[in-house]
Structure 1
Amino acid sequence: MSVRFENVSFRYPGTTTGVFDIDLEIATGELLAVIGPSGSGKSTLLKLLSGFAVPDTGRILVDGKDVTHLPPHERALGVVFQSYALFPHMSLWRNVAYPLKVRGIPKTERQERARDALARVGLGDFAERAPTSLSGGQQQRVALARALVFSPRALLLDEPLSALDAALRHGMRDEIMRVQRKAGIATLHVTHDQEEALSMGDRVAVMSAGRLEQVAMPRDLYDRPASRRVAAFVGHANLWEGMVVAPGLVSTRLGELVCDTAGFATGADVIALVRPEHVVPLLELPSGPRPNVFFGHMAEDRFLGAVRRCDLEVGGGTVRIETSIRAAIAAVAVPPDAIRLLPPESPSPTRPAHTGNPS
């Protein structure tokens, strides 16, 4: 059961905000995580799939069926909200069975299916309890069981873990992935938590100004971002403007960088991307000149427990470092194979000019 957006555009009436030219597919059994800054359109994408908004143009297909103009209750989609939305006066099994009741399933069958669903999320012994007696993580599992109890055609996760504390979030990530994998269901997961998206998503989509910037597997997204915007948004990054001055050599405000310049002609403007964890701290100054070695003034030094984040001011730029080394850092080395060159930033994606309410 797959999900597909075919050239979907939607604009909120009276505004220039929405989503534009979305062409995207979620395969059967795939979990696609969607991230982006506030206002990027990720929640709008979920509203369009769930039926709470209707595209101005394009189509939405679920398992090959056009659901673009179907109301939410006819789409057979399971939704897990940030707020859980459990009925406090109902037992857990009755909460989980509610979608079956709406569909006219006999009580005996819906009770059996609800109890089975609770067992799948590890709450089989809690069926008669009230939601108010559970922890936040347990309530989230009930919401997940309810979303899956009627065998939906796809699953929508609307920032489902944002209300939990850090320890519970990590456990619930694994729980959601386990249940989703077992169900083999196409899943759209909207989240503001990048770590959550990278750890859970089979692929991750980055949105900006209502458009898809990049859709890729988590490692590819992090290691090979398509643009400076994606590189800057996903994780931490050193981004140095420069110019290719010779094959294998880039001039930056830090100094010259030896790196692979394949694909860029001499004289081309580039952005050099280096993730902070790939910068190598040196505890002693090198005895002689060495390529890609820089020393300067330590401007910031933040101890974060297992990780230390530092900013070394070098010439006219800054080298961000992420390391577990606690000793004084005298200089840094930037391995040539840790440098990825990106084209200069294109203008920020723009939304179509507003010409009145969409017809």
Structure 2
Amino acid sequence: MSVHFENIAFRYPAGGAGVEDIDLSIGDGELLAVIGPSGSGKTTLLRLLAGFLIPDRGRILIDGRDVARVPVKERGLGVVFQAYALFPHMTAADNVAYPLKLRGVGRGARAAKAAEALAKVGLDGFGVRLPASLSGGQQQRVALARALVFDPRALLLDEPLSALDAGLRAGMRDEILRVQRAAGIATLFVTHDQEEALSMADRVAVLKDGRLLQVDTPRALYERPASHAVAGFVGHANLWPGTVTGADLVTTPIGRLTTATVGHAPGAAVTVLVRPEDVVAAPAPDAPNLIAGRIVADRFLGSLRRLDLSVAGGLVMVETRRRDAVEAIAIPPEAIRLLPGGR
């Protein structure tokens, strides 16, 4: 089963942000995460696929069939919402079986399928319990089982982990991914948490102001962002305006940096990207791109420190495991990425 958004556009009647000219596919068995700032159109995209909204323009294809104006109940999609929306008066098993009841499945078959679905999400034996007696993580699993019990054509996850505390999220990421892989189902996962997206998704789509900026694998998106906007949104980044001033030389506000400039003519305006973890703290005196500085912010994060180093011309963000003083940094030439100039 595959999903394809083809030139999709939607604007809310009151003039709120929607989406514009979205072309995006989800392959069979693929988990596609969608991230972006608030108001970027993430949830709008999910609601368009679910059928809660009708696009102003374009097609939404599921296995080649345009469902843009097909009613919600006829799309056959499983949805897990940010609020799990479990019926408080129903047991976990009855909550899971509810979609089957709506489809006319007999009581015995419903009970068997619900028990099977609960077992798949690690809740074997929890079917008799009411939602109020379950933890947040267990409620999330019940919602996931309910979304999968009728063998949906695709799975839609709308920030499903946001209601959980940090201690539960990592485990639930693994659980969702395990269940999704076992089901082999195309999945659209909307999240504001970049770590969730990068750690779970086969590909990640970045939206801003209703437009698709880039879609790529998590590693490619982080290491080779297509623009200043993507680089600045995904992860932490040092971003400086620069000018190519010669072969393998770029001038920036923090100084002249040596790096490969292939593909950029002398005089070209570029954006210089350096990830904080690639900056070398307290380097050897002969290191390339050596810059003296002074720590102005020092954040201890357990396994690492995140520093702001004041240098001539600006600040450099540094992530390091060093515990001693840092009075200079070096930027390895191979750690520098040159992006198109401007924003």
2:78 is matched with which residue? Answer: 78
C-alpha distance in structure 2 between counterparts of 1:48 and 1:194, whole Å: 22
What are the superposed Cα offsets for residues 153-193 of structure 1, whole Å, 9 maximum, x if unpaired? 00000000000011110000000000000100000000000
1:297 is matched with which residue? Answer: 294
Measure how far apart 1:38 and its partner are: 0.4
1:45 is matched with which residue? Answer: 45
2:275 is matched with which residue? Answer: 275
C-alpha distance in structure 2 between counterparts of 1:117 and 1:291, whole Å: 57
1:5-84 to 2 correspondence within 5 Å? Answer: 5-15=5-15, 17-84=17-84
Q: Is the contact between residue 83 and residue 163 of structure 1 (CA under 8 Å) also seen in structure 2?
A: yes
Query: 1:336 is matched with which residue: 330, 333, 336?
Result: 333
2:249 is matched with which residue? Answer: 249
Question: What TM-score comes out, normalization by structure 2 length?
Answer: 0.98
Letter in 2 for 1:307: L
C-alpha distance in structure 2 between counterparts of 1:257 and 1:311, whole Å: 19
C-alpha distance in structure 2 between counterparts of 1:242 and 1:91, whole Å: 61
1:306 is matched with which residue? Answer: 303
Aligned residues: 343
What are the superposed Cα offsets for residues 198-228 of structure 1, whole Å, 9 maximum, x if unpaired? 0011000000000000000000000000000
Query: 2:315 is matched with which residue: 314, 318, 328?
Result: 318
1:357 is matched with which residue? Answer: none
C-alpha distance in structure 1 between counterparts of 2:291 and 2:130, whole Å: 61
Letter in 2 for 1:338: A
C-alpha distance in structure 1 between counterparts of 2:271 and 2:61, whole Å: 39
Letter in 2 for 1:228: H
Letter in 2 for 1:340: R
Letter in 1 for 2:313: G
1:87-236 to 2 correspondence within 5 Å? Answer: 87-236=87-236
Letter in 2 for 1:300: A
Q: Secondary structure at the match of 2:239?
A: strand
Q: Secondary structure at the match of 2:24?
A: strand
Letter in 2 for 1:262: V
Letter in 2 for 1:326: R
Q: Secondary structure at the match of 2:125?
A: helix
Measure how far apart 1:16 and its partner are: 5.6
Q: Secondary structure at the match of 2:147?
A: helix
1:2 is matched with which residue? Answer: 2
Measure how far apart 1:65 and its partner are: 1.7
Q: Is the contact between residue 92 and residue 142 of structure 2 (CA under 8 Å) also seen in structure 1?
A: yes
Letter in 2 for 1:323: T
C-alpha distance in structure 2 between counterparts of 1:345 and 1:177, whole Å: 37
CA RMSD of aligned residues (A): 1.1
Measure how far apart 1:258 and its partner are: 0.4
Measure how far apart 1:90 and its partner are: 0.8
State which drifts further: 10-19 or 306-315. Answer: 10-19
Question: What TM-score comes out, normalization by structure 1 length?
Answer: 0.94
Stretches of structure 1 lacking an aligned partner (at least 5 in a row): 347-359
What are the superposed Cα offsets for residues 275-320 of structure 1, whole Å, 9 maximum, x if unpaired? 0000001167x2x6x5300012211111111120111111111111
Q: Is the contact between residue 30 and residue 187 of structure 1 (CA under 8 Å) also seen in structure 2?
A: yes
Q: Is the contact between residue 294 and residue 327 of structure 2 (CA under 8 Å) also seen in structure 1?
A: no
C-alpha distance in structure 2 between counterparts of 1:309 and 1:275, whole Å: 12
What are the superposed Cα offsets for residues 112-166 of structure 1, whole Å, 9 maximum, x if unpaired? 0000000101111111111111110011000000000000000000000000011
